[in-house]
Structure 1
Amino acid sequence: MKRTADEPAYVLHRYDWSESSLILEVFTRHHGRIALAAKGVKRPSSNFRPVLLPLQRLEIAFGGTGEIRQLKSAEWVGGQVMPTGEALLSGYYLNELLLRLIARDDPHAKLFDAYSAAVQVLASEHGEALQPALRAFELLLLREIGLLPMLDAQTSTLAPLLGDARYSLLPEAGLVETGGDDARPAMAGGQWRQLQEALDGPAPFSAVLPLTDSMMQALKPQLRALLNYHCGVNVLRTRQMMIDLQSL
């Protein structure tokens, strides 16, 4: 049986498998999203019970070659507390995006690093800091899986963006120039080029984070429409949960 050890990982979701066991959806740095059988984890005496929590950095060992492999060990790396409140819901939102858009056994080391950085922000910050972190991760996720067009040119013609002209990011057409009477959310060409330069840098999450803060009002609805389009839903489950809680 093939065995992998000392693998950085996060638990994205878990399902009941039997009275004492679970199936885990896990995001790993070198193997992508994988499914693991955690036998006996629901027993009170299990060493896994206090460890296999969402939004906590782990090092795991697993074995097997099938679609569902076996969890052998899991250790909490530490370094951050569990997010609470709105930050916790935001973390579940990131997990839902990964579950919907990342295929199993498809490694994305850069995306894993971006997810880890976003979780650290969620664990340490609240309020206004949460939204820029979510937008930065959304951009990096879409780019990593090939769903984000180049942000320094019009998608259909590859013509360079003009600094003062305004462009909208559309799910089916990419970046298109918008007129003055167009009500769709749009941003200046210079802003889109700034985002592309940040994404191409050596530390994209840190570089994109301050930009998403300053561009939030126009960027958020465009990214939401693009994500919903590729997820095949009108509203993600975690997004609907946030709306329901806010209405209460």
Structure 2
Amino acid sequence: MTRARIQLTPGHVLRTQPYRDTSLLVEAWTYHHGRVGLIARGSRAPRSRTRALLQPFQPLLLSWNEQGDLGALTGVEADGHAAALPGEAIFSGWYLNELLIRLLPRHDPHPDLYADYVVALAQLPSALEAALRIFEKNLLTELGYGLQLDDDLDPATPYRYDTELGPVVADSGDGDAYAGSSLIALRDEQLDDETALRDARRLLRAPLRSLLGDKPLETARLLRQIRKSRPTA
């Protein structure tokens, strides 16, 4: 049986975990091949240079031999500088990684979403909330659950969102309505004010929860624990 050899394809590490005595099991997100599982043999050995490169948010060039569902990593090179994610921005980066692991099957290429991921990482330090919401919107589109945000939305009109029909003009005083200007901002990926960010967060939460099911995201749980453990002023 011929094994495909993948050479120097752009990718990022989503997660690593120990594998046997000296190896790592790597979940990687790649431009050409989507999410892949790779065995990095010997990468936990004391003198391994591979382990230092196999870090989240570091753009890489990855090579491996395909061996069924898991491939054998044969080479890794840095392909630029790692995204600098200070403070809680690193949790947002982990959140993006966890979404990809939870919602995308292996070996399903999404080159446009890969490009969106790279952009989101770059924007997290300066525009964290907007970067997250735009990536979530694009992720839903790639999964076939994209929002219907048509060109004829009126910025001055409040809307409720129907999963079948998309935005529908809301009744006066509907507390669950979304500002038309917020829907336009999300559609155009120009989330520049708090109202637009708040409405985008609310609108995207429901379809993401439906896809994720009952199992909560570990990243969100960990961030809540850390916030609770901080001393109050």
What TM-score do you get using the length of structure 1 for normalisation? 0.82
Q: How many residues align?
A: 225
Q: Which runs of 5+ in 2 are unaligned?
A: none
> Percent identity at matched positions?
33
> Does the Cα contact within 8 Å between 2:31 and 2:109 map onto a contact in 1?
yes
1:182 aligns with 2:177: no
- 1:212 aligns with 191
1:166 to 137, 148, 158: 158
Cα distance change on mapping 1:52 and 1:234 into 2, 3 Å: closer
| Pairing of 1:9-158 with structure 2 (within 5 A) | 9-122=11-124, 125-126=125-126, 129-152=127-150
Give the Cα separation in 1 of the matches to 2:155 and 2:128: 29
CA drift of 1:174 comes to 4.5
Distance 1:41 1:117 in 2: 29
Tell me the alpha carbon deviations over residues 57-79 of structure 1, each in whole angstroms, 9 at most, x when there is no partner: 00010112400011110111123
User: For the residues of structure 2 that align with 1:42 and 1:4, how far apart are their CA atoms?
Assistant: 23
Q: Report deviation, 1:142.
A: 1.1
How far residue 140 of structure 1 moved from its aligned partner, in angstroms, is 1.2
Structure 1, unmatched stretches of 5+, are: 154-159, 199-207
Residue deviations 1:145-190 (CA, integer Å, cap 9, x gap): 211132118xxxxxx64453322346677434322232215121x5
1:5-30 C-alpha deviation (Å, 9 max, x unpaired): 11000111122220111111110001
Letter in 1 for 2:206: A
Q: What is the distance in 2 between the residues matched to 1:23 and 1:212?
A: 37
Cα distance in structure 2, aligned partners of 1:234 and 1:13: 18
Any idea what the Cα deviations from partners look like across 1:37-58, whole Å, max 9, x if unmatched? 1111110111211100001100
Q: Which segment is superposed worse, 217-226 or 94-103?
A: 217-226
Secondary structure of the equivalent of 2:200? helix
> Is the contact between residue 149 and residue 175 of structure 1 (CA under 8 Å) also seen in structure 2?
no
When the two chains are superposed, the root-mean-square deviation of aligned CA atoms in Å is 2.2
